[in-house]
């Protein structure tokens, strides 16, 4: 064997690079010891920030959940929004007491106030006024006018209820009143920024670290303790509850920066060493590659003439391997091209979504470049946005498999495109939801909008009905002459589809042909619904006539799906509330045969006729069972008469169980038991409730002496009357009258 000069030359040529890398590893080893300490400090700071964020989020979320619970369960709040008035002083006093108790229970809460949409009345824990005169009107008005949707906790802002106290930095939460989707008012709670600061200040030392909270508008929620130059941001996170940006770091973080810079110096030095080693390797490799390069050149020449002969050999040499590599590269290139075409469809669908929603309005130059690649519409021409919605989509999903659904959707999209080509039109179709196909129709300036859209899409609608055995409804917006008008046309198309429930499915609905909704009739509908619920509970057959009046009224006014759903929800709620006043047997009947079937029917119905038919059948079935229960309960009618007698003769001092048992020929114990079963209240409690309620009215509206009022409501002993009144109300009759007088005087002064 000859000398191995080339081997040793290769070995020693790479030795300097080896020494450089080993030196860098030693430097990195010692630097990592210091860097580990810095990472531990960063981790501890991040844990502190997350604990602070969790504490604030938990407190704010608890306040929000408790307020929602009160809105759902507190009858005073429900009465305030539904039927309260500015002069309902006792109701307002109870609500103020609730707000004060809530503030005492949650010290973070600075103030609470309620806003009623019907009359613009504002009631806070400290005052009351009209919305126009209330200092915080600019904050709540956008919610009342629906210019601003429910956004959860606001950013930090200035709240000044009384000028003598000065403004406070608070964060606020506006909660919409329940039951109706349009809302009856709002409840606003304010939490002070200083309270949030005190909540977390015990978690860290201000001399060592800081926590910085930035709201969505970029304002600082907590007061700054140090200047910005002395801060070093280490960790940050976005709160999932409030959306605030929490930032934390170290005070006097310049020393940390110095350490980081020192680390960067070592790192740069290492990069330089690696670069030097790399350059040396390149130099050595190029120098050592020259002999091999000559061989490779000869191999390339040989591969052009001898490749076939070499491939026929049983052994795999370098040329065979090289050919395999080239084939693999070609196959990979073809795969990339197929992937590019698939990605192009996804990008096109995403661009359509952005265009109709107004998120992306490209410039004309950009759009022309995209048109050549994706075959898009010419936005210099007028466009009409349509939405093709599959009718009875729930049934469609349950009837067909995923593969069949995909094929039928593909067929629907294809037939619209082919129909447009047959009519000489240009359309762009993309699925925007599970049951909705967006269609962008390009029209000429001289085209008849309705005729053009009808010709193209109605042919496709009839084809789908005949061939695919399903129906679709099309909503069409107005013509968009500029790209910026396309989102409005899209919104109009979606709005037109909301009238499918009234106008019917399997048709084309043009937005500009819809009449304006009669918003003023909604209040009359709510009153009629309340009357239906009362008649239904009392077993009066006239509820059917009232239901017919409701259906007839809705048929005369063109209401959208949202309004019809709101009325249906309110009917279900009203009957449920009335049935809740009866015994458990009636409540269970309503829950099983009324409430659940009605909710299911509402969600499963696509048209108003389906809602009407399903509701009528369900209510009739529930009403018949209600009457059967009343027939089987022998004493139901007797207890009703007993209640009527008590409501009429509660002022009679001799009114008692014995008195009523003689009149209705029932033993007193039996009467007491039946009364409790039918009404859910004891006889004595119900009688006290009637008498105290009448006494309150007399104390509020007359100047009669307490002795006279006690006799008028059935108490011969004024002491017994005062003791019972204070037990129920919490104040003696005299104190209650003084409280009412003082409240009226304060309200008049305001």
Q: What would the pLDDT profile of 256-315 be if each residue is shown by its tens digit?
A: 555 555 556 666 776 777 777 777 777 776 676 666 556 556 545 554 544 444 444 444
Q: Are 250 and 1 in contact (CB under 8 A)?
A: no
Q: Strands 472-480 and 508-510: what pairing?
A: parallel
Contact indicator for 174, 185 with CB cutoff of 8 Å:
no
HEC per residue, 136-194: CHHHHHHHHCCCCCCCCECCCEEECCCCCCCCEEEEEEEEECCCCCCCCEEEEEEEEHH
Per the model's pLDDT, the better-predicted residue between 65 and 209 turns out to be 65
Integer angstrom CA distances of residue 134 from 114, 127, 161, 679: 11, 10, 8, 43
Joined together, the tokens standing for residue 168 give: 């406070």
Average pLDDT over residues 570-589: 76
> Residue 236 and residue 257: Cα distance in Å, rounded?
17
Which residues, 6+ apart, have CB-to-CB distance to 690 below 8 Å? 646, 647, 650
Mean pLDDT across the chain, nearest whole number? 77
The reported pLDDT for the residue numbered 524 is 59
pLDDT tens digit string along 467-492? 888 888 888 888 888 888 888 888 88
The answer on pLDDT for 343 being more than 50 is yes
List CB contacts of 267: < 8 A, sequence separation 6 or more. 31
Percent of the chain exceeding pLDDT 70 equals: 74
The stretch 123-127 carries a mean pLDDT of 83
Check residue 564 and give its pLDDT. Answer: 74
pLDDT surpasses 50 at 705: yes
Model-level pTM greater than 0.85? no
Distance CA 328, CA 322 (A): 10
3-state DSSP assignment of residue 376: coil
pLDDT higher than threshold 80 for residue 214: yes
| C-alpha to C-alpha distance for 310 and 220, rounded to whole angstroms | 75
The confidence score (pLDDT) of residue 315 equals: 47
pLDDT at 326: 55
- What are 491-528's pLDDT values in tens digits? 888 888 877 766 678 888 888 777 544 444 555 566 67
Confidence of residue 169 (pLDDT cuts 50, 70, 90): confident
Q: Is 517 buried (19+), middle (13-18) or exposed (0-12) by CB count in 10 A?
A: middle
Contacts of 583 (CB under 8 A, 6+ apart): 677, 678, 679, 680
pLDDT above 70 (res 633): no
């Amino acid at each position: 064997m000859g000398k191995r000069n080339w081997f040793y030359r290769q070995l020693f040529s790479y030795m300097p690079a080896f020494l450089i890398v080993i030196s860098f590893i030693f430097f990195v080893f010692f630097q990592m010891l210091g860097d580990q300490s810095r990472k531990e400090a960063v981790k501890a700071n991040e844990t502190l920030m997350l604990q602070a964020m969790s504490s604030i989020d938990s407190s704010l979320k608890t306040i929000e959940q408790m307020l929602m619970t009160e809105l759902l369960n507190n009858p005073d709040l429900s009465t305030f929004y539904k039927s309260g008035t500015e002069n309902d002083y006792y109701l307002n006093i109870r609500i103020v007491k609730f707000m004060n108790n809530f503030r005492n229970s949650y010290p973070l809460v600075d103030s609470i106030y309620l806003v009623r949409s019907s009359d613009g009345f504002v009631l806070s824990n400290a005052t009351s006024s009209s919305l126009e005169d209330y200092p915080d009107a600019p904050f709540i008005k956008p919610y009342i006018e629906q210019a601003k949707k429910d956004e959860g906790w606001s950013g930090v802002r200035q709240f000044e209820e009384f000028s003598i106290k000065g403004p406070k930095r608070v964060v606020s939460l506006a909660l919409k009143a329940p039951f109706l989707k349009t809302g009856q008012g709002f409840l606003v709670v304010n939490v002070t920024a200083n309270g949030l600061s005190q909540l977390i200040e015990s978690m860290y030392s201000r001399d060592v670290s800081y926590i910085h909270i930035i709201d969505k508008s970029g304002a600082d929620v907590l007061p700054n303790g140090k200047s910005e130059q002395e801060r070093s941001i280490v960790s940050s996170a976005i709160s999932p509850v409030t959306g605030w940006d929490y930032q934390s770091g170290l005070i006097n973080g310049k020393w940390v920066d110095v350490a980081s810079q020192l680390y960067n110096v070592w790192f740069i030095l290492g990069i330089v060493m690696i670069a030097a080693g790399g350059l040396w390797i390149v130099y050595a490799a190029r120098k050592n590659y020259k002999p091999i390069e000559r061989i490779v050149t000869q191999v390339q020449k040989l591969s052009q003439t001898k490749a076939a002969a070499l491939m026929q050999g049983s052994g795999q040499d370098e040329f065979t391997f090289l050919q395999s590599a080239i084939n693999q590269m070609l196959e990979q290139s073809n795969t990339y091209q197929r992937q590019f075409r698939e990605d192009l469809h996804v990008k096109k669908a995403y661009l359509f979504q952005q265009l109709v929603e107004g998120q992306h309005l490209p410039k004309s130059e950009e759009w022309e470049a995209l048109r050549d690649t994706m075959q898009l519409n010419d936005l210099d021409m007028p466009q009409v946005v349509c939405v093709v919605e599959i009718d009875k989509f729930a049934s469609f999903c349950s009837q067909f498999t995923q593969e069949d659904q995909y094929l039928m959707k593909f067929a629907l999209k294809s037939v619209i495109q082919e129909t447009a080509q047959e009519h000489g039109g240009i359309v762009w179709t993309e699925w925007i939801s599970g049951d909705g196909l967006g269609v962008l129709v390009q029209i000429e300036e001289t085209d008849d909008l309705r005729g053009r859209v009808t010709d193209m899409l109605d042919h496709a609608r009839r084809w789908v009905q005949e061939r695919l055995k399903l129906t679709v409804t099309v909503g069409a917006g107005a013509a968009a002459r500029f790209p910026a008008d396309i989102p409005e046309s899209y919104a109009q198309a979606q709005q037109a589809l909301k009238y499918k429930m009234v106008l019917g499915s399997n048709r084309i609905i043009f937005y500009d042909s819809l009449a304006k909704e009669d918003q003023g009739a909604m209040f009359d509908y709510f009153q009629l619904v309340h009357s239906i619920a009362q008649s239904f509970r009392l077993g009066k057959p006239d509820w059917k006539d009232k239901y017919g009046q409701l259906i007839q009224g809705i048929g005369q006014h063109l209401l959208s799906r949202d309004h019809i759903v709101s009325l249906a929800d309110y009917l279900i709620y009203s009957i449920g509330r009335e049935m809740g006043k009866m015994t458990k047997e009636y409540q269970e009947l309503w829950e099983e045969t009324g409430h659940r079937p009605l909710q299911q029917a509402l969600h499963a119905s696509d048209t108003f006729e389906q809602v009407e038919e399903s509701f009528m059948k369900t209510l009739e079935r529930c009403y018949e069972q209600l009457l059967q229960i009343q027939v089987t309960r022998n004493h139901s009618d007797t207890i009703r008469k007993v209640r009527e007698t008590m409501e009429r003769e509660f002022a009679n001092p001799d009114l008692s169980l014995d008195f009523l048992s003689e009149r209705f020929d029932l033993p007193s114990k039996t009467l007491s038991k039946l009364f409790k079963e039918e009404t859910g209240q004891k006889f004595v409690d119900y009688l006290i409730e009637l008498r105290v309620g009448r006494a309150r009215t007399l104390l509020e509206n007359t100047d009669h002496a307490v002795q006279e009022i006690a006799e008028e409501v059935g108490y011969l002993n004024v002491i017994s009357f005062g003791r019972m009144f204070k037990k129920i109300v919490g104040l003696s009759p005299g104190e209650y009258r003084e409280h009412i007088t003082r409240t009226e005087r304060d309200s008049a002064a305001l």
